[in-house]
Amino acid sequence: MAKSPEQEHPKKAFGWAARDTSGVLSPFKFSRRATGEEDVTFKVLYCGVCHSDLHMTTNDWGMSIYPLVPGHEMVGEVIEVGSKVKKVKVGDSVGVGCVVGACHSCENCTNDLEIYCPDMILTYSTVYHDGTITYGGYSDTMVANERYIIRFPENVPLDASAPLLCAGITVYSPLKYFGFAEVGKHIGVVGLGGLGHLAVKFAKAFGAKVTVISTSISKKEEALEHLGADSFLLSRDQEQVQAAKSTMDGILDTVSASHPILPLIELLKTNGKLVLLGAPEKPLELPVFPLLMGRKTVAGSATGGMKEIQEMVDFAAKHNITADTELIPMEYVNTAMERLAKGDVRYRFVIDIGNTLAATKP
Ligand SMILES: NC(=O)c1ccc[n+]([C@@H]2O[C@H](COP(=O)([O-])OP(=O)(O)OC[C@H]3O[C@@H](n4cnc5c(N)ncnc54)[C@H](O)[C@@H]3O)[C@@H](O)[C@H]2O)c1
Ligand SMILES: [Zn+2]
């Protein structure tokens, strides 16, 4: 008979888990593997709350395995390293993002695109090489193979940098891949949440002209004055939409729910690209004719490979890019999830794991 989560590995661990599709999180005792020779073990200090955590705790994508400990934007301090580990040492600041394993031999892995490996192992709710289920960063400790460990420079604030590990790379990677990371390119950002606000910051750092496209006028002032966007387009204002038609080289769409994409396609110039980053549970409608008339592309993109994540973290440190966060104690997480579902966060909840998790132990 399979061992329980609490007994399957030698090291005791504690976190918060969802038990069913209600998504409600509660304290959960489990275990972590011993530090293998290529492994890094770290104490988790902070973990961002991604909208994907919400999709996963409620099984929106039909792939959740319960009990489910979410969290793929975790940062902390190394407490133990295996004998073959070269990347980091005890005391270093590190993090783990969305992926903790892959085959390391396919074409994607060879090209530093572990995220697209057919055998890619997600940080939580996935079967690991040893047959046990992976658990994420809403927990006190983490063990990962060093390939999946990201180093943080000493001078960066770890709480506000945690969201770079998913939200940051998810916008950085397509900005670079699709040719948007260039001075003078006009880039639209749809959905000003965790991903969206970092998309504005990275696109600006690359020298692009950025327009935030939103359904909510309440975000205008912050988008322009605080985040540094060049313009704001209220998507239900037909006059504004009309004036912006055929002006954008690229659009990053980070909306978490189904929505019409025709109005976005119309904003693109000839050869423009709409890149879908949000992961709504239901399919979107794809109007074909407007794509033909202008040789336009609709594409998708997932987080990014390990090499690119390190590049992005180093770029963010150089350009002082961090997330705008609301730091919350562990016991607030269910309220935070409710607020996230309503779009009520500016712009990322980060759980203060290091200072608040232990107090919730039963
Ligand atoms: N591609 C990837 O690898 C990847 C990585 C991380 C997150 N995601 C997905 O990206 C999406 C966004 O994640 P996030 O953490 O930034 O979420 P978030 O909740 O912080 O931001 C989502 C934004 O979309 C807006 N929005 C929601 N419904 C809308 C609608 N119907 N019309 C217009 N705007 C709407 C919200 O107001 C909010 O500003 C989620 O679906 C998440 O699962 C994908
Ligand atoms: Zn995420």
Produce one character per residue of 333-349: b if its CB has 16 or more CB atoms within 10 Å, e if not.
bbebbebbeebebbbbb
Instruction: Looking at 29-91, list the stretches that DSSP marks H as alpha helix, in order from N- to C-terminal side.
Output: 51-57
Q: Tell which atom from ligand 1 comes closest to the C-alpha of 50.
A: 15
3-state secondary structure of 250: strand
- The residue-averaged pLDDT of 302-320 equals 97
Confidence check: pLDDT of 102 > 90: yes
Amino acid at residue number 335: T
Whether residue 78 contacts residue 44, with contact meaning beta carbons closer than 8 Å, is answered with: no
125: left (phi over 0), alpha (psi -120 to 50) or beta: left
Portion of the chain with pLDDT greater than 90, in percent: 98
Q: What is the pLDDT of residue 1?
A: 64
Is 215's C-beta closer than 6 angstroms to any atom of ligand 1? Answer: yes
How far does residue 51's CA lie from ligand 1's centre (Å)?
A: 6
DSSP label at 284?
P
- The residue-averaged pLDDT of 273-300 equals 96
Closest alpha carbon to 130 in 47, 10, 16, 20: 10
Q: What is the pLDDT of residue 171?
A: 98
Nearest CA to ligand 1 atom 36: 343
CA separation for the pair 175, 53 (Å, rounded): 23
Q: What is the pLDDT of residue 232?
A: 98
pLDDT averaged over every residue in the chain: 97
Reported confidence tier of residue 294, pLDDT bands at 50, 70, 90 = very high
- The residue-averaged pLDDT of 268-280 equals 97
- pLDDT tens digits, residue range 225-263? 999 999 999 999 999 999 999 999 999 999 999 999 999
Burial of 98 (0-12, 13-18, 19+ CB in 10 A): buried
Q: Tell which atom from ligand 1 comes closest to the C-alpha of 51.
A: 15
3-state secondary structure 127-174: ECCCCCECCCCCECEEEEEHHHCEECCCCCCHHHHHHHHCHHHHHHHH
pTM: 0.97
Q: What is the phi/psi pair of residue 58, to 5°?
A: -100, 5
- pLDDT tens digits, residue range 197-215? 999 999 999 999 999 999 9
Is 254's C-beta closer than 6 angstroms to any atom of ligand 1? Answer: yes
Output the six-digit token pair for 225: 């004055």
Is 303's C-beta closer than 6 angstroms to any atom of ligand 1? Answer: yes
Could you give the domains of the chain? Answer: 11-166+304-360 (3.90.180.10), 168-300 (3.40.50.720)
- pLDDT tens digits, residue range 29-69? 999 999 999 999 999 999 999 999 999 999 999 999 999 99
Whether residue 126 contacts residue 20, with contact meaning beta carbons closer than 8 Å, is answered with: no
Reported confidence tier of residue 353, pLDDT bands at 50, 70, 90 = very high
Confidence check: pLDDT of 2 > 80: no
CA separation for the pair 333, 261 (Å, rounded): 32
Confidence check: pLDDT of 176 > 80: yes
Is 52's C-beta closer than 6 angstroms to any atom of ligand 1? Answer: yes
